[in-house]
A and B are shown apart, each in its own frame.
Chain A
Amino acid sequence: MAHDFAWIRPEPHGIHVVPADCWIDPSEPVDHALVTHGHADHARGGHGRTVATPETLAIMKLRYATSGGAVPAGYSETIRLPGGVDATFVPAGHVLGSAQILLEHAGERVVVTGDYKRCPDPTCPPFEVTPCDVFITEATFGLPVFCHPPIETEIGKLLDRLAAYPERCVLVGAYALGKAQRVIAELRRAGHDRPIYLHGALERMCRLYEDWGVDLGELRLVSDAKKEDMRGHIVVCPPSALNDRWSRRLPDPITAMASGWMRVRQRARQRNVELPLVISDHADWGELTRTVEEVDPHETWITHGREEALLRWHQLRQRRARALALVGYEDEDD
């Protein structure tokens, strides 16, 4: 499809910055990659050279144990790429180290958001509105039914349930990178100072967050604890462990899950969740549409998620938009 911004090309496996011959969040190994954040569907190993924020590089190093060709780019720092392209990493508010990438070439400005949210998160700096010509956005929660409530409400529900069942524990399923640490940080902010127990798969990422200055309070491993010790406590695990045999070692757990999908009852039921917590690291419908209005781009490109509805919203407001149909992005994880 012909368009005005020929120097930036959405290909099935990522966004190609043609003059610099580099790729943003490519789903296959390339020589030169720019990576918005550390989630596995955006940050893959095996690239020749990877430009990302120092936090994202640290996360990638933890996950892939490769550090070859890592080029750190601090927030607001502009990096000159080949072919006369400037790249600036701008906070996206998604997870630790997450960035939007502003690309400038021949007087044109393109912002690739990666994933983002607009509500406050104690584990990362907030999203910054960056004016541009082309705004490339996600649409994970791109349906008007998605409206994430204030996180205080959801943390309150969690603490209420914990208090109501002092003989049990509440097992919270949360993604290992970002969600788990944010939930823990928010629990601390709400004054919850008891030890929080972790599934082993979360330990290293929590330590990494602490190394980068995010205080998570006292954390203990489930594998080191006795069943009795965990009564009346919160246990955090990756979503895949929620209904796993692993949870049998816990004292009569109440199953909770922290995800934007919990807004929809049947989604919670499908996961056998008893206590749905609507906590998301992605923009909800209101945030997505507000962000487009504030950025006010010449046109919007939509990478992944429920793009039909966001396209429709643009159409109703006579805004230009197109869906990119990239492959490899998980549109279900949150």
Chain B
Amino acid sequence: MERFAALIDALVYTRSRNEKLQLIAGYLRATPDPDRGWALAALTGGLDFPAVKASTIRNLMHERVDPVLWTLSRDFVGDTAETASLLWPAGESPPDPPSVSETVEALAAMTRRSVFTELPALLDRLDASGRFALLKLATGAMRIGISARLAKIAFAQAFDVGVEEVEEYWHGLAPPYRALFAWAAERAPPPDTGSLPLFRPFMLAHPLDDTIVDLEDYVAEWKWDGIRVQLVHVGGEQGETRLYSRSGDDISGTFPEFLDALPMDAVLDGELLVRGVHQGGEKGGAASFNALQQRLGRKTVSKAMLADFPAFIRLYDVMILEDDDLRGLPWTQRRARLEALMPRLPADRFDLSPVVDAEHFDHLAEIRAGARDDAIEGLMLKRKDSPYIAGRKTGLWYKWKRDPLLVDCVLMYAQRGSGKRSSFYSDYTFGCWDGDPDAGADLLPVGKAYFGFTDEELRKIDRYVRTHTVNRFGPVRETDRSLVFEVAFDSVHASKRHKSGLAMRFPRIHRIRWDKPAHEADRIDALRALVRD
């Protein structure tokens, strides 16, 4: 645990991506199995100990520290694990750190009852850094600025293997990944993953920004506003189907309509949408993201849900079909295979994302500007000869989102952030005027945003909040309603959850209008006019 804790600390304080890779690779090379496998699982978010929750830590701390002092400390530090590691009463005996695997075994064996005696026993054996690493490990969310992808790249670098292969095998394996280490470190045969309904890493796109592409080389498609999914079937007619989200999470249970929808072995890439004309959707086709949200994140799905919000997949690509891995083929050939496949798929569960015909780039820009359908997020541009490559490879695929909607709002409340923004007031609630501000109208909150600004701007807003506070509620400050934000958002919908009756989708701070007087900010009517439910 000491080496793992030292690694975590070093990663926290290292800025350079290369140094982070070296630190992780060095650890993976120097640490024996199974400790390194558990550590890799921790870094990639692959551990889950149901007995240990953030609330477990809070309850443990409440037995040792006054609850008010705990809350004040937690708000200031911005991280539950770190706060607990700092506040844990120092033991009388010197540290006697357990190994990573001993720790993982102990955590896995804990129950919701035993955790209250067994977790303290582990904490007592560690120093503050060790406690931090243990609590991060135990709660499953490291939040130390290391993505799963970065950890996999470090693994590939540590043993000089290809990161694409690592990704490919990854999803068929479970921590502590002995077969993966045996293959990479000891040149054993690769893990056998062919017969499993595995997730394959998605091909992703870069933002187009100011690039102009030649439509001789690129094809345009709509970018649909649902969730990107991968549907996998193996084992023939009696086989198994699984639906994966973009991050590789198995969401088959949330969308049971697909469990017997794919009649052949295949790996398909598409956008999950719900059908319906409601909420601004196209006729008989896809509804807005707002409608899809009714279905997301549910563990059980009622019949009414299935009937009211039926899901389907709008297909973009085919990665594997029957025994053919098509990923090495150019997009045009894969597209032809996909079009030929369509008649074999049930029409109520699948349709094909159409190609957008444009004569030249400017024409395409006009088409994009004219798209008013709420289920469209923008355009995709794909190089006609692009193979299907995991991750984002420059020049192959671009996304070209619709221009956002803009509204001027007034900052009303600011809350302290967490993680790297701990102690900064970085989460903002803003409002629009409910009438004429000069005639005494009030502000109504219309949304919340916590990104869209630079670190430098964050420091300035933070200072502004501190000097314009009129009220404090724990970690929240009410400000004097004098700062105007130009807020960008993708769409706005009617919502009963908010006092204003409106909910913005994907709001972010577009510009900080230090120059604009608050009474010139927009009125709520302006925002209401943008609703297209």
Interface residues of A (CB under 8 A from B): 143-145, 147, 263-270, 272-276, 306, 308-309, 312-313, 316
Contacts and interface: CB of A to CB of B under 8 A. Distances in A.
6 contacts: A264-B422, A265-B9, A266-B420, A267-B422, A309-B69, A312-B69
B78 A266 contact: yes
Given A269-B12, A272-B15, A306-B76, A263 B66 contact: no
A145 B83 contact: yes
A18 B71 CA distance: 38
A315 to B, nearest CB: 9
B340 interface: no
B68 interface: yes
- Nearest first, the 3 closest Cβ-Cβ pairs linking A and B are A145-B86, A266-B422, A309-B72
Contacts of A147: 86
B73 interface: yes
A309 B73 contact: yes
B77 A266 contact: yes
B69 A313 contact: yes
B73 A267 contact: no
A316 B66 contact: yes
Given A265-B13, A273-B13, A309-B72, 14 more contacts: A144-B87, A147-B86, A265-B12, A266-B77, A266-B82, A266-B419, A270-B420, A270-B421, A270-B424, A274-B13, A274-B15, A276-B13, A309-B68, A309-B73
A41 B12 CA distance: 32
Nearest to A266: B422
A263 B82 CA distance: 10
Contacts of B79: 265-266
Contacts of A263: 86
Contacts of A312: 66, 68-69, 72
B73 A144 contact: yes
A266 B72 contact: no
B213 to A, nearest CB: 37
Give the size range of B's interface with the partner: 20 to 34
A118 B77 CA distance: 24
B252 interface: no
Contacts of A265: 9, 12-13, 79, 82, 132
Contacts of B78: 266
Nearest to B68: A312
A144 B420 contact: no
Contact of A145 (B77, B420, B421): B77
Contacts of A266: 77-79, 82, 419-423
Nearest to B82: A265
B264 interface: no
A308 B69 CA distance: 9
A111 B39 CA distance: 53
Main secondary structure of the interface of B (DSSP, over half): helix
A118 to B, nearest CB: 18
Contact of B72 (A267, A269, A276, A308): A308
A268 B10 CA distance: 12
Interface in B411-435: 419-424
Contacts of A313: 69
Contacts of B13: 265, 268-269, 273-276
B333 interface: no
A145 B15 contact: no
A75 to B, nearest CB: 35
A269 B73 contact: no
B205 interface: no
- Most chain A CB inside 10 Å of its own CB: which residue of B66, B76, B83: B76
A121 to B, nearest CB: 24
Interface in B48-89: 65-66, 68-69, 72-73, 76-79, 82-83, 86-87
A309 B83 CA distance: 14
A21 B145 CA distance: 54
B495 interface: no
Contacts of B69: 143-144, 309, 312-313
Interface in B6-56: 9, 12-15
A144 B65 contact: yes
Given A145-B77, A265-B12, A274-B13, A306 B422 contact: no
Contacts of B421: 266, 270
Given A145-B77, A268-B13, A306 B72 contact: yes
Nearest to A261: B423
Contacts of B132: 265
Contacts of B422: 264, 266-267
A145 B76 contact: yes
Contacts of B82: 264-266
Contacts of B65: 144
B72 A274 contact: no
A285 to B, nearest CB: 9
Highest count of chain A CB atoms <10 Å: which of B65, B73, B424:
B73
A96 to B, nearest CB: 29
Of listed A266, A309, A312, residue having the most chain B CB within 10 A: A266
Contacts of B15: 272, 274
B14 A143 contact: no
A308 B74 CA distance: 13
A264 B424 CA distance: 13
A264 B72 contact: no
Contacts of B12: 265, 268-269
Interface string B388-408: 000000000000000000000
A274 B77 CA distance: 18
Interface string B86-104: 1100000000000000000
B100 to A, nearest CB: 20
A255 to B, nearest CB: 9
A148 to B, nearest CB: 12
B77 A264 contact: yes
Contacts of A270: 420-421, 423-424
Most chain B CB within a 10 A radius of its CB, from A143, A274, A276: A143
Nearest to B90: A147
Nearest to A267: B423
A147 B128 CA distance: 11
A274 B13 CA distance: 5
Contact of B73 (A145, A268, A272, A276): A145
Nearest to B472: A308
A306 B77 CA distance: 12
Contacts of A268: 12-13
A57 to B, nearest CB: 31
Nearest to A308: B72
Contacts of A316: 66
Contacts of B419: 266
A143 B73 contact: yes
Nearest to A316: B66
B72 A143 contact: yes
A265 B87 CA distance: 14
B76 A143 contact: yes
Contacts of A308: 72
Contacts of A275: 13
Contacts of B76: 143, 145, 264, 306
A144 B76 CA distance: 11
B506 to A, nearest CB: 26
Nearest to B143: A266
Nearest to B67: A312
Contacts of A274: 13-15
Contacts of A269: 12-13, 145, 420
